[in-house]
Structure 1
Amino acid sequence: MTYTISPENEQLELAIQQKINECLDHFESFCFDAGAGAGKTYALQKSIEHILKTKGENLKLKNQKILCITYTNVAKDEILDRLGKNSSVMVSTIHEFLWGFIAIQQELLTEEHKNKIIDELDVLDQKINGNPLSSNVNQKDLLEHICDEDFLKVFYGIPSSPAKKFKEVIIDYDDYFILYLSNVNNFSSLVKNVCKKHKLKETLEEIENNRSGKIIYNPIRNRDKLENYVISHDTLLFYCKNIITSHDLLKRLFSDRYPYILVDEYQDTDENVVAIVDSVREHSNPKKKLCSRIFW
């Protein structure tokens, strides 16, 4: 595919690119703020080409790369299509890149996971205590009845509406529940929250006893399964922000490996990602070892 620039804008774009190149040459971070169709992606492409032309050999000698972070896989593919393959450039979505960078840090990830489970248990306690049924329920006794594979198959296998049918099926399974079915929604919520609390407490105990599983990032579904050590997109960014911003060694590894960080579509970038980039930049800039540039 061929990309062209309108003749009337060519001089203006050349002047803007010259200013961008000067920032790159002096390791000065900046934000390129422009509207849709203003040529941000073209400027991104030209900036990478300028770095490769002026610093490419040095990057190879130091085993360093230009990091270009995109918001979507579509944007990633577009940039790769424009640039072609180059071993000195890494173009990646933020989740893909951060997981590749942090996955090896399982001890730190597990500590973050432990803290998130503790927070989630507090939230669950509030939900359980706020349920109108909670004052009439012995949680330990309820747990013995609901944390049973056969019951859960019945519970999740029958729609809660119509309520009459739901009550009949649950009571037919175990008439213990007859006292707690005055309101189907309250009952369903209580069962789900008590079961989840039980599973999370078991996971927390595993972590505290050094028997935890490996933290896994699931890029397919944006939903945590904390009890199974599976985290989603948002949780990955949250963990990475806490870990990277708190460890100077990781900031150093980040900046040593990627002296140029280019963030595409900055307006869509999560605040945790902004915090990570700012933290790495602030750690590195006194030594002039990092140029973090943001396209908006």
Structure 2
Amino acid sequence: MTSRINKPDTATDVYLKIFLDEMKSFTMIAGAGSGKTTSLVKSLTHIKTTKGALLQKRGQRVACITYTTIAEQEIWHDVGHDPLFHVSTIHSFLWSLVKSFQTDIKIWVKLRIEEKLTKLRTDAANFGPRVQAKTRSKNSEDIERYTSELAFIDAVSHFNYETGSKYSKGILGHDDIVKMVPTIISNNSTFKKIIAQKYPYIFIDESQDTLEEVVSAFKSVQAQEGEKFCLGFYGDPMQKIYATGIGSITIPEDWKTLQKPENFRCPKNVLTVINNIRKQGDRLEQTGRENHPNGLGSSYFFIFPQDDQRDENILKARNFIARKNSDPLWTTNTKETDLRILVIVHRMAANRLGFSELYSAFIDHAPESLKLSFNDGTAWPLRPFVNVILPLINLFKSNTHCEILKLLRVHSPLLKKENLDASTADINTRLSNLQESLRNMTTMFNDGSTSTMKEVLSFATTAQLLTLDDTYLEYLNGVVVQDPNNEDDLVEFFNLFFKCPATQLYGHQKYFSDESPYSTQQGIKGAEFQRVIVILDDEEGRHIQFSYEKLLGLKAASTTDQQNIRDNKDSVFDRTRRLFYVCCSRAVRDLAVVLFTNSVPEATSAIKALRIIDDASVITLDNLQ
């Protein structure tokens, strides 16, 4: 087990152990840097110490549900992979509960298909004269597809869980799992009893980002089973950044609420900023640690004009902090610097790292599935480049011949056993040809090269450095005809993708392999960095869910915003405040907020009036001269 176990208990940890002993269900509100994961791991180890032997004798386990696979691995490591615990992501855990209930699954799938068909038919019946032909065609095709799938369901003997759904093949996708399992749990008292008997303790991490249906389903288990079942939610509504999350959880009167006000991460000057941001939310005021290793730390709020000098002004801000703090690391981007620049959309990073055209091809012209896979770095059109071409070039430049040969043996048809002549001369000739081809392909990635993605890929396939599947080859050779009625058509995307400069792959890889200082503001929850720059720029970083100018009072609320506030719905102000809090609370040493605005004087007055930070730390270009 890890050092988390040996950390001193906070007052909250002491109370939590009492509740666990009494089988009291609870919610824990743990602010940024408070040691939420430590409390979660302490909960698990306390149960093992006090009741582990009894639970194992009964064949029972303690479930810990995490939001990401990274968190899952981290907690598994913390508890020493002890078999008493079941640690997994929500999708995996839900599937483990239901996978043996195949009859219930089949009933749900049938109802799901029928619901989709009802909606499609209702939509079709309500189509007006202005509805486009491709929308009508898509609707008709979907009705035909789901009708066909429904006819095959009875013949499906077993359902499995994979990435995407194909009901007629017995395949359920991610979305199916989080819709199906909560429904089955909520509507089946026997199933609830089975869950409580198998897992008398279930803890849900990052509860604020958990789907409401999932939360309600497990609450229904607790409502039925009472103190035979302990349900715990560990999270922070102020750190909810995903629209699908429940946020704050309403609990019954017999539950307990715990707050962790500590912040062990941020020094005083950073903590003051995040407390002032949070003050307008749930008013939880966090307390800092004594004798912080970085002393008081520092925080600055820079206000710059929205012009074409953004990057230059960010550099000026960094140089200013380096001088003020006597810290030259603020001027570098090395790993030692541990600096992160947080932008609200990937496009802002793409512009700065030189892969804007590649980004645009995927985000502006590709179907939704490709957009999502591009943002997590797994898009299939990139695989030949990411898995073969770039690794070969990097190995060639480093003169690593053995590794080149290993890679070519896997991907080059020239080195496949079935294609090789028995003679040594033939093998040597092929190796020599591959080496020359690799040398030529490497020049296509030199600085200043204008070689496109299509030119590189065509060269690589012609030289037999790799092979492409038939589908990819059809797009590369231009034999696929565009279908304007198919919203998943890829012809337009590939036309733009193939025109992109191949050198843009370097910036893309640098960004998605986390080798650049840039990250998106939504992607860093749970992380921490010594030095943090938070970019607020509604003009360049347009996002329909967030607006820093509205939050800071620089732009008026829309009619929809005002209605959401009146209806007590999640508003742009709530979402942006939470995101701002998450970003600023990543800083372990220094924090710099950089606002780009069309009126620096107005913004300066507004920021000072909000009292987010002391007036002396509000900096404009005039102060940098």
212 and 4 in structure 1: CA distance in 2 versus 1, 3 angstrom threshold: closer
Which residue of structure 2 aligns with residue 149 of structure 1? none
Residue 280 (structure 1) aligned to one of 217, 221, 232 = 221
Deviation at 1:214, TM superposition (A): 3.2
Deviation at 1:124, TM superposition (A): 1.3
4 and 122 in structure 1: CA distance in 2 versus 1, 3 angstrom threshold: closer
Across the aligned residues of Structure 1 and Structure 2, the Cα RMSD in angstroms comes to 2.4
Distance 1:22 1:6 in 2: 19
Deviation at 1:193, TM superposition (A): 2.0
Distance 1:49 1:247 in 2: 32
**SS of equivalent to 1:280:** helix
Distance 1:213 1:122 in 2: 25
126 and 243 in structure 1: CA distance in 2 versus 1, 3 angstrom threshold: same
1:199–1:227 CA contact under 8 A, matched in 2: no
Unaligned residue ranges in structure 1 (runs of 5+): 134-182
Question: What's the TM-score, normalizing by structure 2?
Answer: 0.36
Residue 92 (structure 2) aligned to one of 89, 96, 100 = 96
Residue 59 (structure 1) aligned to one of 55, 58, 73 = 55
Which residue of structure 2 aligns with residue 116 of structure 1? 112
**Deviations along 1:148-177, whole A, 9 cap, x unmatched?**
xxxxxxxxxxxxxxxxxxxxxxxxxxxxxx
**SS of equivalent to 2:203:** strand
Higher relative contact order (CA 8 A, sep 6+): 1
Which residue of structure 1 aligns with residue 143 of structure 2? 197
Residue 217 (structure 1) aligned to one of 149, 161, 177 = 161
Q: How does 1:135-284 map to 2 (within 5 A)?
A: 186-207=132-153, 210-212=154-156, 214-218=158-162, 220-221=163-164, 224-284=165-225
**Deviations along 1:210-236, whole A, 9 cap, x unmatched?**
334533322x34xx4445443322221
Question: What's the TM-score, normalizing by structure 1?
Answer: 0.73
1:69–1:93 CA contact under 8 A, matched in 2: yes
**Is 1:35 aligned to residue 61 of structure 2?**
no
Structure with more helix by fraction: 1
Task: Quote the sequence identity (%).
Answer: 31
Deviation at 1:17, TM superposition (A): 1.2
2:4–2:41 CA contact under 8 A, matched in 1: no
Which residue of structure 1 aligns with residue 234 of structure 2? 295
**Deviations along 1:271-294, whole A, 9 cap, x unmatched?**
121012101111111xx2111111
Task: Report how many residues are paired.
Answer: 235
Distance 1:216 1:120 in 2: 20
Which residue of structure 1 aligns with residue 567 of structure 2? none
Unaligned residue ranges in structure 2 (runs of 5+): 236-625
Deviation at 1:237, TM superposition (A): 1.4
Q: Which moved more, 1:54-63 or 1:272-281?
A: 272-281
Distance 1:227 1:189 in 2: 24
1:67–1:89 CA contact under 8 A, matched in 2: yes
Deviation at 1:83, TM superposition (A): 1.3
